[in-house]
Amino acid sequence: MTDSASTGAALARRYEDVLVITIDHPPVNALSAAVRADLAAAVRDAQADPQVRAIVLTGAGRNFIAGADIREFGKPPQPPILPNLCNQIEASAKPVVAVLHGAALGGGLEVALAAHYRVALPGARLGLPEVTLGLLPGAGGTQRAPRLMGAQAALDLMLSGKHLSAEEALDAGLVDSLASESDALDAGLAYARQLLALRGGPRRTRDATAALADKPAALAATDAAADRVARTSRGLFSPARIVEAVRAAIELPFDEGLGVERALFLQCLDSPQRAGLVHAFFAERETAKIPELKQARPRGVERVGIVGGGTMGAGIAVAVLDAGLPVVMVEQDDAALERGRARVAHVYDLLVDKGRMRADERAARLARFTGSTHYDALADADLIIEAIFEDMDAKLAVFAQLDRVAKPGAVLATNTSYLDVDRIAAATRGPADVLGLHFFSPANVMKLLEVVVGRQTAPDTAATGFEFARKLRKIPVRAGVCDGFIGNRILAAYRQAADMMMEDGASPYDIDAAVRAFGYPMGPYQMMDLAGGDIGWATRKRRAPTRDPALRYVQIADRLCERGWFGQKTGRGYYLYPDGARQGQQDPDVLAIIDAERLRAGVRPRPYTQEEIQRRYLAAMINEAANVLRQGIALRPSDIDVVALSGYGFPRYRGGPLHYADSVGLPAILADLREYAKEDPAFWTPSPLLVELAGAGRDFTSLNRAA
Ligand code: 3H9
């Protein structure tokens, strides 16, 4: 090292004839305006400095560069814009080597593709995940990636948003070499010195021709991708634009292709889908910021006990085993325990059969699993999760046992989806140690975890729930105690709205189609058929004595259940499933039952447009969400959005119900609710929070900022 010239966010330091530029912009070196300006200045200065013969680009901390600064989207662009910076790097007269470690994503990878050589360190993750934010790689990525890896592989990378390991990136042609050093500076200097020794000069990606040499094959790959996108992208805007940009890379000279990319990028940037997806990105990172984590440290969790080996218990066991923790499962008898063990093993068997897991990995996970029919086996557990059926008395009996056997300081959790966690906690001598951990089925797959904090739950117990979720790579959302917590409580409201529309004239098929057209993967009646009508039926029967008589009760679901039509598992529900078909067919008998119910209830059916179905469904959802927020059951609006997105199929590009409400405008939602309330004030009365916000000209986003 000889001298040093420091800028703010990009530090330039010369090591003899090699200038190392280190992006230093925590937490992830995102390419903010300051970073771009500093990087541009450092590259420019290097051209003029006769002592510099090569440039190494690297990132400080754990990552190279995680991409454009997502927080700048939607604000006026500040020069230099990233595509120009990439062109400037590529135009350097001195060779530029990018050393990739940690995340080299989006604009970060695009900077690397504009460099002349790329070296990846072990553990590096490379990707162009812009599609997950409603964008396309807009700094030359759609033009340079196909020139290095071919159209097919580039399309796969950009349309999936997946990350490649360093080895995969080498195989794909995205990087030139894997470093054996784990230090980015050493690796970069070694590569640059070798390059200079071999008299290697700039080698520009824009000039690479080999990967696109077979033009008919490249065009065929884009045609196939266009077909696939049309079939599978469910209303998403950016995937088709990505395909268009890659086609330009094949057909047009480089600079013209860049022009096409820029125009398409700006279209994506302006789209409401981009706003929804970026909202979802940040919302998912906000949920873990809870007051309890500021007040207390989580307790250590090394051993986990699970009571119950049914679908939920087994799914939770798999999630815990996958996180590298041991599990002891307790069931009431040997047969039930054996079924629980078999369910766990079955998940891994399927993965091995599909080639997604090696047999030795399966064996290692199962080796961490033990079972017992005695509660005493839980004496060592730091966290015990009860996952038995939804019956308060049965749960109270389990918690009485846990109270007896759990070691001091163990956290006791219930996986109930709606029962009163405070009542369960009160059955123990240590209610401060009790919380709810509401997993979603299949528990080893679904990302959402509602962490239910009861009246007496201690801060360190709540913090432990969040830390445990992090270990399991789940998205934890803090929920207060109420019937159904956040997700199921809001679900009950919009299902009720759907049922009322069904009795008033819309068929379940109309409602499902409208909800799918909004962007859900399936409608509420398809969902009920999939989950099994018997579960909801049992709940309704249990709740019948305490049902609010002022609320309308639609009995159509009960009529189907009385016939044993529980959905897919019985071959019919709202739909028919002949010969075990997964895709349901409309059932005239169901329509006849609905007609009979309308007669019985004295309802004269009327037609519903798709738009009206969607507006009522969403209005019910948003109104209940506002009540959930007002009562402090959710900490912030964006937490509710995350619950809907990651647990209930709300279309991600719409950002979640409350982001959607803001985009429609709260006065419009309120006007709908007031209109519907004329028919049925008990159900449709607007939430006082909604009235207040709309009256003050505010939106839900303003509450996010305040949270
Ligand atoms: C793009 O590049 C467009 C270009 O093609 C064209 C431009 C013209 N910006 O996730 P973490 C924050 S689009 C701003 O918890 P991890 C994040 O919010 C971009 N902030 O850490 C969080 O903040 P806080 C394409 C960002 O270790 C903190 O960093 N790139 C950005 O679990 C830590 O994040 C992507 O889509 C950003 N780009 O995971 C990559 N990224 O602490 C997006 C993160 O206040 N990022 N933050 O809550 C990721 O996938 C993950 O953050 C990463 C680290 C894997 C990097």
In the prediction, which pLDDT does 22 show?
A: 97
Name the E strands within 41-195. Answer: 54-59, 96-100, 103-105, 117-120, 125-127, 163-165, 177-178
Whose alpha carbon is nearest atom 55 of ligand 1?
103
Residue closest to 455 by CA, chosen among 420, 489, 487, 427: 420
- Residue 675: band (very low, low, confident or very high) from pLDDT cuts 50, 70, 90: very high
Q: Which helix (H) or strand (E) segment is 363 a member of?
A: helix 359-367
Whose alpha carbon is nearest atom 25 of ligand 1?
106
Per-residue pLDDT of 168-197, as tens digits, reads 999 999 999 999 888 999 999 999 999 999
Q: Which atom of ligand 1 is nearest to the CA of 69?
A: 9
What is the pTM for the complete model shown? 0.95
Whole-angstrom distance, CA of residue 118 vs CA of residue 512: 49
With H, G, I as helix, E, B as strand and everything else as coil, classify residue 317.
helix
Q: Tell me how far apart the terminal alpha carbons of the chain are, to the nearest angstrom.
A: 48
Environment class of 17 (CB within 10 Å of its CB; exposed 0-12, middle 13-18, buried 19+): middle
- Residue 4: band (very low, low, confident or very high) from pLDDT cuts 50, 70, 90: very low
CA angle 182, 361, 162 (to 5 degrees): 55
Q: Which of 23, 28, 128, 132 for a ligand 1 pocket mutation test, highest count of atoms within 8 Å of Cβ?
A: 28
Evaluate whether ipTM surpasses 0.95. Answer: yes
| 279 within 8 A of 659, measured Cβ to Cβ | yes
- Residue 353: band (very low, low, confident or very high) from pLDDT cuts 50, 70, 90: very high
Buried b (16+ CB within 10 A) or exposed e, 356-386: ebeeeebeebeebbebeeebebbeebbbbbb
pLDDT at 7 over 60: no
DSSP 572: B
| 618 within 8 A of 517, measured Cβ to Cβ | no
**Catalytic: 90?**
no
| 149 within 8 A of 267, measured Cβ to Cβ | no
List all residues whose CB is within 6 A of at least one atom of ligand 1.
27-28, 30, 63, 66-71, 82, 103, 105-107, 110, 129-130, 133, 135, 137-139, 141, 282, 285
Q: 16, 90, 110, 167: which one is catalytic?
A: 110
Whose alpha carbon is nearest atom 27 of ligand 1?
28
Per-residue pLDDT of 524-542, as tens digits, reads 999 999 999 998 898 888 8
pLDDT at 446 over 50: yes
Q: Please, what is the average pLDDT of the chain?
A: 96
Q: Say how many Å lie between the CA of residue 570 and the centre of ligand 1.
A: 45
Whose alpha carbon is nearest atom 16 of ligand 1?
28
DSSP 23: E
Show the tokens assigned to 410.
């163990």
Q: Say how many Å lie between the CA of residue 30 and the centre of ligand 1.
A: 7
| 137 within 8 A of 131, measured Cβ to Cβ | no
Q: Which atom of ligand 1 is nearest to the CA of 82?
A: 8
Q: Domains along the chain?
A: 10-270 (3.90.226.10), 301-481 (3.40.50.720), 506-605 (1.10.1040.50)
Q: Which atom of ligand 1 is nearest to the CA of 110?
A: 5
With H, G, I as helix, E, B as strand and everything else as coil, classify residue 253.
coil
Whole-angstrom distance, CA of residue 450 vs CA of residue 643: 8
Q: Which helix (H) or strand (E) segment is 434 a member of?
A: strand 434-439
In the prediction, which pLDDT does 74 show?
A: 86
pLDDT at 6 over 70: no
Q: 16, 90, 130, 692: which one is catalytic?
A: 130
Whole-angstrom distance, CA of residue 637 vs CA of residue 630: 10
Q: Say how many Å lie between the CA of residue 72 and the centre of ligand 1.
A: 12
In the prediction, which pLDDT does 393 show?
A: 95
Q: Which atom of ligand 1 is nearest to the CA of 138?
A: 6
Q: Which atom of ligand 1 is nearest to the CA of 136?
A: 5
Whose alpha carbon is nearest atom 46 of ligand 1?
66
**Catalytic: 181?**
no
Task: Give the other-Cβ count within 10 Å of 155's Cβ.
Answer: 27
Q: Which atom of ligand 1 is nearest to the CA of 28?
A: 29
User: What integer is the mean pLDDT of 232-258?
Assistant: 96
Q: Say how many Å lie between the CA of residue 65 and the centre of ligand 1.
A: 9
Q: Say how many Å lie between the CA of residue 70 and the centre of ligand 1.
A: 7
| 626 within 8 A of 687, measured Cβ to Cβ | yes
- Residue 558: band (very low, low, confident or very high) from pLDDT cuts 50, 70, 90: very high
Q: Which of 29, 31, 70, 135 for a ligand 1 pocket mutation test, highest count of atoms within 8 Å of Cβ?
A: 70
Per-residue pLDDT of 428-439, as tens digits, reads 999 999 999 999
User: What integer is the mean pLDDT of 613-632?
Assistant: 98
Q: Say how many Å lie between the CA of residue 197 and the centre of ligand 1.
A: 37
| 28 within 8 A of 66, measured Cβ to Cβ | yes
Q: Say how many Å lie between the CA of residue 446 and the centre of ligand 1.
A: 22
Q: Say how many Å lie between the CA of residue 161 and the centre of ligand 1.
A: 13
Q: Could you give the percent of the chain with pLDDT greater than 90? A: 93
